[in-house]
């Protein structure tokens, strides 16, 4: 155990589910549940056979709009094929082409009208990127359909071209695949991720909200698993910054010492600055900060010799403020504004202590509030990914934004139901995604004795 910090982890009913957990047990390098989640996200593709069948029948391909998806229609090239009826046969042929490179794990599973493909670990270990999730799945799918339905370039060249267009969209004419295409994955293709190491940040907020079925504390946990992994991949948690990140996500995402829910309950009838006052008071009681100077007016300046822990308290307070504010208005719209303006509250209340994430959260929050219709319209908070140029400046903003959207009651044009309907089903498809907060804590409890000092 490199650091001396230990925390208790609490569920959404404020019940302690793991005690005296070293913060290292909440690292993706140690926590087995976190490893399993990241492995699932990295290796899994989905084939929507109903979408594929309807697109082929209508001759619809290469669209680049999220809504509508109908600007490119070529019905004269359409092919009316009973693809859904042949789901098992298609899956078997994909398995023959991909599964033989694996370790015996069943790499292809049919669930209703969806084929789930997990690229073997050995394949992912050999290649430089994680793009086989798309490239191998797409090529194997096209070959399987061509074999079953006798689509041969010598006898049906137009059919081959149509199949390729439906599966690949305009690629490589366009570097992106069509939104809502028949083949998808948890993560974006690497060529469209904005920034080195930002793969796990590139997941749409509403997708995460849907995968946890709008459960707020589970949303915080899943978002923290993904964003913490992204920070490690970017290099932002290496060396000097390891403890800073481990503490931050422990308190913000995994409800360490029940701080988030304590602050929510205490301020359930309050406002953002009430949460700030409560957070500062709790930090004083826990000896995280102390009075450095008191002025004649009574105003106090505080100091800390444990900035990473003070930052973690601020992050918990910020998360609680988002929950209080968005919960009161039953809308996620306010989440970016809380991130933008709570920071000054912490600085003023403490007489100049650094605000959350050393000012990065405020900078990102202001830009995010601007682009989510507070001033300028881009899209609602739920439609963004955190590799976006506006958002990638702070690694701690994803969990509270997810929490805000979990509390939205349908006010958003870009709602989880509209942008991410398929992801609600994934929670049933993958039991691994159910109750992530509980499972992170259980895994941490199991391994805490194995984490040695030094």
CA distances from 268 to 13, 56, 322 (A): 15, 52, 11
Q: How many CB atoms lie within 10 A of CB 149?
A: 18
Owner of token pair 């909200």: 209
- CB count in 10 Å sphere of residue 290: 12
Distances (CA, A) of 453 to 4, 354, 444: 9, 30, 16
Question: Cα–Cα distance between 88 and 183 in angstroms, integer?
Answer: 17
To the nearest 10°, the Cα dihedral for 107, 110, 111, 114? 100
Which whole-number Å values give the CA distances from 71 to 19, 61, 419, in the listed order? 56, 9, 19
Helix H segments across 184-258?
205-211, 216-234, 242-253
What is the spatial distance between Cα 225 and Cα 163, in angstroms, rounded to a whole number?
37
Which residue do the tokens 């997990």 mark? 118
Tell me the CA distances in angstroms from 318 to 73, 251, 274, 349, 390, one per residue in order: 47, 11, 11, 14, 19
| 172 preceded by a cis bond (ω within 30 of 0) | yes
Burial (Cβ within 10 Å: 0-12, 13-18, ≥19) of residue 67: exposed
Find all residues with CB under 8 Å of 297, minimum gap 6, and list them: none
Cβ count near 153 (within 10 Å): 11
Q: Which of 304, 287, 288 is nearest to 351 (CA)?
A: 304
Q: Name beta bridge partners: 7.
A: 21
Is-cis flag, bond preceding 402, omega within 30? Answer: no
Contact call for residues 272 and 342 (beta carbons, < 8 A): yes
> Is 200 designated active site?
no
* Distance from the first to the final alpha carbon of the chain: 5
Catalytic residue (choose from 30, 241, 251, 376) = 376
Catalytic residues, by residue number, are: 376
């Amino acid at each position: 155990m490199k650091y001396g910090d230990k925390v208790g982890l609490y569920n959404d009913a404020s019940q302690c589910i793991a005690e005296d957990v070293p913060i290292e047990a909440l690292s993706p390098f140690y926590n087995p549940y976190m490893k399993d989640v990241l492995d699932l996200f990295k290796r899994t593709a989905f084939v929507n056979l109903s979408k594929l069948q309807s697109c082929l029948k209508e001759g619809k391909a290469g669209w680049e709009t999220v809504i509508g998806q109908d600007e490119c229609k070529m019905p004269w090239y359409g092919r009316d094929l009973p693809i859904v009826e042949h789901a098992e046969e298609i899956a078997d042929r994909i398995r023959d082409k991909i599964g033989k490179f694996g370790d015996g794990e069943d790499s292809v599973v049919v669930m209703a009208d969806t084929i789930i493909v997990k690229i073997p670990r050995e394949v992912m270990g050999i290649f430089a990127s994680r793009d086989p999730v798309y490239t191998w799945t797409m090529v194997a799918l096209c070959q399987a359909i061509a074999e079953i339905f006798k689509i041969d370039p010598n006898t049906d060249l137009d059919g081959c071209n149509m199949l390729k267009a439906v599966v690949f969209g305009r690629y490589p004419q366009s570097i992106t695949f069509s939104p809502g295409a028949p083949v998808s994955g948890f993560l974006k293709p690497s060529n469209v991720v904005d920034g080195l190491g930002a793969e796990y940040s590139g997941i749409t907020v509403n997708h995460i909200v849907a995968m946890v079925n709008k459960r707020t504390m589970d949303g915080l946990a899943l978002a923290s698993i993904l964003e913490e992994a992204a920070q490690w991949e970017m290099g932002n948690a290496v060396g000097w910054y390891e403890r800073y990140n481990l503490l931050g996500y422990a308190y913000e995402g995994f409800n360490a010492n029940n701080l988030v829910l304590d602050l929510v309950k205490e301020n359930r009838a309050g406002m953002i600055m009430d949460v700030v006052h409560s957070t500062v008071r709790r930090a004083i009681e826990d000896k995280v900060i102390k009075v450095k100077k008191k002025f004649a007016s009574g105003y106090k300046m505080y100091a800390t010799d444990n900035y990473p822990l003070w930052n973690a308290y601020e992050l918990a307070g910020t998360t609680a403020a988002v929950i209080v504010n968005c919960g009161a208005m039953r809308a996620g719209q306010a989440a970016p504004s809380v991130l933008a303006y709570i920071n000054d509250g912490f600085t003023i209340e403490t007489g100049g202590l650094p605000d959350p994430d050393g000012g990065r959260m405020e900078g990102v929050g202001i830009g995010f509030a601007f682009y989510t219709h507070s001033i300028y319209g881009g899209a609602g908070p739920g439609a963004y990914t955190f590799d976006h140029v506006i958002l990638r400046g702070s690694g701690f903003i994803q969990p509270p934004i997810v929490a805000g959207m979990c509390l939205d009651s349908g006010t958003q044009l870009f709602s989880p139901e509209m942008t991410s309907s398929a992801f609600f089903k994934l929670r049933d498809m993958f039991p691994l995604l159910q109750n992530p907060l509980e499972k992170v804590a259980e895994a941490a409890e199991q391994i805490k004795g194995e984490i040695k000092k030094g």
